[in-house]
């Protein structure tokens, strides 16, 4: 028996996390748009993030149920501001170096096309130059003594 508030009566097996295992609707992914300490900050030489327009259009195009839009604080890789992350069951795709509103518009169009397709389409060719690897493959093992 689960003693977590709101989950009374729910049973969990040892090693399982309590709580619901499914979500309502079919969410394809999430677009996280950074507007943190660097992204969108003109004082640091970065283009504005059109977050108000993004949120408005996301709502007008009814994209939220298919792809969640989150405007976030710093995602970490400030050196490639402006940054977005696309999160899906396949992992995270990072986009950076956005210097105008156009890539954001492309992401909106891509999200709408993906919703219509029912799966996340490949990103537009024009965004390929913005993709970057957030984490390099590095060894975390200590050097072997020589
Ligand atoms: S402020 Fe966007 S990555 Fe840090």
* Domains of the chain with CATH codes: 29-132 (3.40.30)
Q: Has this prediction a pTM greater than 0.85?
A: no
Between the CA of residue 139 and those of 42, 94, 145, what are the distances in Å? Answer: 37, 22, 15
The pLDDT assigned to 22 comes to 61
Residue with the two structure tokens 């093992």: 141
Ligand 1 pocket by Cβ (under 6 Å) = 34, 36-39, 74-78, 81, 83
Over residues 4-20, the pLDDT tens digits come to 444 445 555 666 666 66
Q: Is the pLDDT of residue 49 over 70?
A: yes
Over residues 51-110, the pLDDT tens digits come to 999 999 999 999 999 999 999 999 999 999 999 999 999 999 999 999 999 999 999 999
Strand partners, 94: 85, 132
Q: Which atom of ligand 1 is nearest to the CA of 41?
A: 1
Say what the alpha-carbon torsion angle 39, 43, 46, 51 is, to the nearest 10 degrees: 50
Per the CB < 8 A criterion, the answer to whether 130 and 97 are in contact is: yes
Between the CA of residue 133 and those of 36, 66, 68, 93, 123, what are the distances in Å? Answer: 20, 25, 22, 8, 15
Order the strands of the 131-132 sheet from edge to edge.
Answer: 67-72, 29-34, 84-88, 91-95, 131-132
Q: Which atom of ligand 1 is nearest to the CA of 38?
A: 1
What is the CA(3)–ligand 1 centre distance, in A? Answer: 39
The pLDDT assigned to 115 comes to 96
- Name the residue of 44, 78, 92 to mutate for ligand 1: max ligand atoms within 8 A of Cβ: 78
What is the CA(121)–ligand 1 centre distance, in A? Answer: 25
What is the CA(33)–ligand 1 centre distance, in A? Answer: 9
């Amino acid at each position: 028996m689960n003693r977590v508030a709101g989950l009374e009566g729910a049973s969990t097996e040892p090693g399982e996390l309590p709580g619901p295992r499914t979500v309502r609707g079919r969410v394809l992914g999430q677009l996280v748009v950074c507007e943190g300490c660097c992204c969108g900050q003109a004082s640091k030489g970065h283009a504005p993030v059109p977050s108000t327009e993004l949120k408005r259009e996301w709502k007008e195009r009814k994209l939220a149920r298919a792809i969640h839009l989150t405007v976030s604080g710093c995602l970490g890789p400030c050196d490639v501001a402006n940054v977005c992350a696309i999160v899906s069951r396949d992992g995270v795709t990072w986009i950076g170096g956005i210097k105008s509103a156009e890539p954001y518009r492309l992401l909106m169009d891509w999200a709408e096309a993906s919703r219509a397709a029912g799966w996340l389409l490949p990103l537009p060719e024009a965004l390929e130059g913005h993709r970057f690897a957030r984490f390099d493959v590095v060894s975390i093992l200590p050097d072997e003594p020589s």
